[in-house]
C-alpha cells in the first residue's frame, strides 16, 4: 500500500495537532500513524504523520493546499511518497564492508531504495559492483584535481537522478561547496564514537587512550569535518588486551549496522534536522 509521509517542524504553539490532523481529515485522508516531539528548551515542535495514499487529491494539489496552510501556520515541511523509492549513490574507496552490506540489504529488500551506481576514487571495489550488477565509476582524485573530480561526481548524481549520497567509508573530505549544495542529503559513517576521536585512525586513538568502549557514528556531512548532525550511533565493549587491529575488526561490524540504520531512517523519511541535532522518529511506523 502506498503511503504519504509528511515531516513538519515549527515553533511550538497551541492547537498544532488539531490543526494539522483536521487539515487531512477534511480532505478525507486516513491517518495511519502520527508521531510528535516538543523540544521544550527551544520551544520547537516536530511531527511525522503518515497517511494512506487514497488519491483523494492529485499530489500536486495536495502539496499546494498544504503549502498554503503551512504558510498561515508557520510550518516548515517536506513530503515523501512511499511508491517513489529513494535513489541512492554510494561513494567508496577501498573498504568493502559498508557498501557491500548496503547492497545486500537492498537486494534482500531491507532497504527499500534503488542504488543505481557506485563511485570510487580507487578501483578496488569494481568487482563488488560487478557482483551486484551496478555501474562503477572510477574517478581518481589528487589534491590538484579535487574540484574537477567533484564536478564529475555531481554530473553523475544529476544523470542518475540521485536523492541521497552515502559515503560508505569514502575516505575523502568533500568540499564545503559540495556539502552545502547537497545539505541534508549526504550521509557519512565515521569509525569512531563522536565527538570523541575525530579525524584519522580513530581506533588507534581509542587504543592509545585505553578506552573500554568503541563505537561508530553516522551523521550528515557538513563543511566541518565529523561535526554534522548525528543520526545513529552504537558501541561495543573492548578489553585491554585488544590490539588496534582487533578494534578495527570489531568496529567494522558496528559501522555496518550504524550506517544501515541511518540510511534506513533517511529513506523512510523519519529524520528532521534541527540545527546541529536530529530528531529521528521510531521505526516501523
DSSP string, 30-43: PEEEEEEEEETTTT
Cell of 48: 511525522
Q: Which residues 6+ apart lie within 8 Å of 272 measured at CB? A: 7, 9, 46, 48, 278, 279
Bridge partners of residue 188, in order along the sequence: 167, 219
Is 114 catalytic? The answer is no
Q: Is 255 left (phi over 0), alpha (psi -120 to 50) or beta?
A: alpha
Assess contact for 127 and 96: CB atoms under 8 A. no
Residue 236 CA to residue 152 CA, distance in Å, equals 38
Assess contact for 247 and 208: CB atoms under 8 A. no
Residue 116 CA to residue 279 CA, distance in Å, equals 28
Q: Is 227 helix (H, G, I), strand (E, B) or coil?
A: coil
CA distances from 247 to 92, 114, 191 (A): 21, 32, 10
In the set 226, 234, 246, 253, the catalytic residue is 226
Give the count of alpha carbons within 13 A of 245, CB side only.
0
Q: How many residues does the chain have?
A: 285
- Burial class (CB within 10 angstroms; exposed 0-12, middle 13-18, buried 19+) of 217: buried
Q: Which residues 6+ apart lie within 8 Å of 161 measured at CB? A: 87
Active site residues: 226
Amino acid at each position: 500500500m502506498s503511503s504519504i509521509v509528511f515531516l513538519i517542524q515549527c515553533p511550538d504553539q497551541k492547537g498544532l495537532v488539531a490543526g494539522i490532523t483536521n487539515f487531512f481529515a477534511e480532505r478525507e485522508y486516513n491517518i495511519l500513524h502520527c508521531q510528535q516531539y516538543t523540544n521544550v528548551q527551544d520551544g520547537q515542535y516536530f511531527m511525522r504523520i503518515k497517511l494512506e495514499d487514497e488519491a483523494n487529491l492529485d499530489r500536486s494539489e495536495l502539496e499546494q493546499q498544504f503549502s498554503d496552510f503551512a504558510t498561515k501556520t508557520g510550518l516548515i515541511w517536506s513530503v515523501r511518497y512511499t511508491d517513489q523509492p529513494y535513489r541512492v549513490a554510494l561513494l567508496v574507496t577501498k573498504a568493502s564492508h559498508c557498501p557491500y552490506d548496503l547492497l545486500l540489504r537492498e537486494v534482500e529488500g531491507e532497504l527499500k531504495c534503488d542504488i543505481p551506481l557506485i563511485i570510487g576514487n580507487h578501483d578496488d571495489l569494481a568487482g563488488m559492483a560487478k557482483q551486484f550488477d551496478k555501474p562503477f565509476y572510477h574517478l581518481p582524485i589528487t589534491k590538484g584535481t579535487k574540484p574537477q573530480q567533484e564536478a564529475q561526481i555531481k554530473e553523475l548524481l544529476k544523470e542518475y537522478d540521485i536523492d541521497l549520497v552515502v559515503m560508505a567509508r569514502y575516505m575523502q573530505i568533500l568540499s564545503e561547496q559540495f556539502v552545502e549544495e547537497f545539505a541534508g542529503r549526504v550521509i557519512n559513517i565515521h569509525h569512531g564514537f563522536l565527538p570523541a576521536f575525530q579525524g584519522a585512525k580513530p581506533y588507534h586513538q581509542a587504543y592509545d587512550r585505553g578506552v573500554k568502549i568503541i563505537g561508530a557514528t553516522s551523521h550528515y556531512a557538513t563543511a566541518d569535518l565529523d561535526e554534522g548532525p548525528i543520526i545513529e550511533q552504537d558501541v561495543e565493549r573492548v578489553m585491554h588486551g585488544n590490539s588496534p587491529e582487533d578494534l578495527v575488526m570489531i568496529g567494522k561490524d558496528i559501522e555496518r549496522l550504524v550506517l544501515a540504520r541511518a540510511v534506513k531512517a533517511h529513506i523512510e523519511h523519519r529524520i528532521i534536522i534541527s540545527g546541529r541535532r536530529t530528531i529521528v522518529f521510531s521505526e516501523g511506523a
